[in-house]
């Protein structure tokens, strides 16, 4: 029987630490969140980020722009926020409407205010191990792994998924802690056999019930980054939880696992941005 990794509890601890540091140092920290259009999932995320800012003592600046906002208008707003000393972190909520180029928008954010760590300069720093910010979801996954007391060094780790937001940086963070890392994807041959080698298995493919018991090593640590809907429209992850859970040592639930950590690490990055800008 696996122990559940409680993302809500770990994220609360991170947010309390951020608040305590802000209060102890008497800092004024500000996060600007830009949302374009009426995507309902994006609205939920933005609202959750505002609540987390309140908990952490971070000022939240929301810019809700209409669907028809032009690229120039959005880039001009990013320029304004880059130059605003009260804004320490800038987050442009993705996905953007189809007529807007998200890569161009991310590239316009000052690397010192890029609290999502999506800017090419920050991605490069993660690659060489000389980083200030970490992408929020992979950083949250590392916090969850550490919360179990698992030493990553020397472990065989498998990451399913090679996205720029989760898969690739996840592999780099594990590698920086001396794990042996395999990245799997749609072209991987005999995926189940590769996954069965993993002491730590991280799934980020976005397919409901994708990881089954026959893909998991006895006693492994399983981190489920997926956020999907199954046939009954119930929220679920990539991992077939009821089947996998009896076989492993630790596992994250969905919801309540990785999800809360992403926003907690955003708060940590925003505090780090403030410190960098105050040097």
Domains contained in the chain, CATH given: 27-110 (3.40.50.10860), 136-258 (3.40.50.720)
Rounded to the nearest 10 degrees, how much is the dihedral formed by the CA atoms of 144, 147, 152, 156?
-60
Average pLDDT over residues 211-226: 98
So what's the pLDDT on residue 172? Answer: 97
pLDDT at 236 over 90: yes
pLDDT tens for each residue of 47-85: 999 999 999 999 999 999 999 999 999 999 999 999 999
So what's the pLDDT on residue 92? Answer: 97
Average pLDDT over residues 142-156: 98
pLDDT at 99 over 90: yes
Average pLDDT over residues 92-108: 97
Burial 163-198 (b: 16+ CB within 10 A, else e): eebbbbbbbbbbebbebebbbbeeebeebeebbbeb
So what's the pLDDT on residue 77? Answer: 98
pLDDT tens for each residue of 4-34: 999 999 999 999 999 999 999 999 999 999 9
So what's the pLDDT on residue 48? Answer: 95
**Under 8 Å between Cβ of 216 and 247:** yes
Percentage of residues in the chain having pLDDT higher than 70: 100
Q: What is the edge-to-edge ordering of all strands in the sheet holding 89-92?
A: 59-65, 30-36, 89-92
Average pLDDT over residues 205-227: 97
Rounded to two decimals, what is the model's pTM?
Answer: 0.95
Question: Looking at the annotation, which residues are catalytic?
Answer: 49, 93, 116
Banded pLDDT at 232 (limits 50, 70, 90): confident
pLDDT tens for each residue of 161-213: 999 999 999 999 999 999 999 999 999 999 999 999 999 999 999 999 999 99
pLDDT at 230 over 90: no
Banded pLDDT at 229 (limits 50, 70, 90): confident
Of 42, 140, 164, residue with least CA distance to 97: 42
Is residue 129 packed enough to be buried (19+ CB in 10 Å), middle (13-18) or exposed (0-12)? exposed
pLDDT at 1 over 80: no
So what's the pLDDT on residue 146? Answer: 98
φ and ψ at residue 180, rounded to 5 degrees: -95, 115
Of 138, 139, 128, residue with least CA distance to 163: 138
pLDDT at 245 over 80: yes
pLDDT tens for each residue of 34-53: 999 999 989 999 999 999 99
At a CB cut-off of 8 Å and minimum separation 6, what does 147 contact?
A: 5, 10
């Amino acid at each position: 029987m696996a122990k559940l990794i409680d993302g809500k509890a770990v994220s609360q601890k991170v947010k309390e630490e951020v608040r305590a540091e802000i209060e102890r140092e008497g800092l004024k920290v500000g996060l600007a969140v830009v949302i374009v259009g009426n995507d309902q999932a994006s609205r939920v995320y933005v609202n959750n980020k505002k609540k987390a800012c309140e908990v952490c003592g971070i000022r939240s600046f929301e810019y809700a722009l209409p669907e028809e906002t032009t690229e120039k208008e959005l880039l001009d707003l990013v320029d304004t926020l880059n130059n605003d000393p009260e804004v320490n972190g800038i987050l442009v909520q993705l996905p953007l409407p189809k007529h807007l180029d998200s890569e161009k928008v991310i590239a316009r954010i000052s690397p010192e205010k890029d609290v999502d760590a999506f800017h090419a300069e920050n991605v490069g720093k993660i690659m060489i191990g000389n980083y200030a910010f970490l992408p929020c979801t992979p950083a949250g996954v590392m916090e969850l792994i550490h919360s179990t007391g698992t030493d990553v060094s020397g472990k065989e780790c498998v990451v399913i998924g090679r996205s720029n937001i989760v898969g690739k940086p996840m592999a780099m963070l594990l590698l920086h802690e001396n794990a042996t890392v395999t990245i799997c994807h749609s072209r991987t041959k005999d995926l189940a056999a590769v996954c069965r080698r993993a002491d730590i298995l991280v799934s980020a493919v976005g397919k409901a019930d994708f990881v089954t018991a026959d893909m998991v090593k006895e006693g492994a640590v399983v981190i489920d980054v997926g956020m999907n809907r199954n046939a009954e429209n119930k929220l679920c992850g990539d991992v077939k939880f009821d089947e996998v859970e009896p076989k492993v040592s630790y596992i994250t639930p969905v919801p309540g696992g990785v999800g809360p950590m992403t926003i907690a690490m955003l708060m940590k990055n925003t505090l780090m941005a403030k410190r960098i800008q105050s040097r």
